[in-house]
Structure 1
Amino acid sequence: MELQFFLPMIPPTCTHQEKQVSVVTGKPVFYDPPQIKAARSKLTAMLAKHRPERPIKGKGVRLIVKWLFPKGRHQDGEYRITKPDTDNLQKLLKDCMTEVGFWKDDAQVCSEISEKFWAAIPGIWIRVEEI
């Protein structure tokens, strides 16, 4: 199985690392603040249009992602070397892809390439390969 698609959007800059914690009956409870809930909801809705007929089970997955942020004063295609970090961006994306049904468990992602660019056309380009 091999999928490749583009999500035309301004990529979220809030990340999985921004979870909040509160104490309920003496125990910590983690929760997503509103901006993460909004990003998760938007990603999930857009990813659902591209999910495979069946989740990948029992096989490794290669995930290639290009994060394309609005270029502003930067050159189209110039690498983005500022926050958010790619590993934090990927965590939210993989959680959403798991929720939507791309694979059974994101632990199956055993090969991963993630790049951030400034781009004239913002969005997220994604390639999923069974390996």
Structure 2
Amino acid sequence: MDVLYTAEALSTGAGRNGRVTTPDGRLALDMAVPKDMGGSGEGSNPEQLFAAGYAACFHSALQGVARAQKVAIADSSVGARVHIGPNGDGGYGLAVELEVVIPELPHDQAQALADAAHQVCPYSNATRGNIDVTVTVTDD
């Protein structure tokens, strides 16, 4: 692979109850275990960061696919829900739900764009075959 960009982050402290930063200072977050998992919930968590990254990356892939097909999707959005739970083997696993909204397109056309974006998105390509990812197109 020809590398176009490399992101770096550093976790310090106690992992899920520590701090994450990037060398450029653009990201500096206190981390905390979510209340649902027995923590304080008074900080960000890895699942939120993964959801934010996946939503932004998938939305960019969606826009790129639409541009290539000469389709305008100015009011589109992508939401991501990242679920964590026991994997049955003593560890934990993730599952992702992506919700795509393209209000100006008929549902079938929006679904076709979302399906094409799912083939292009680096997060989709990295997770394919490793975790369940559901892509749903909704009208709102």
TM-score, with length taken from structure 2:
0.28
Give 1 or 2: higher helix fraction.
Answer: 2
Give 1 or 2: higher strand fraction.
Answer: 1
CA radius of gyration, larger in: 2
More relative contact order, 1 or 2 (CA 8 Å, 6+ apart): 1
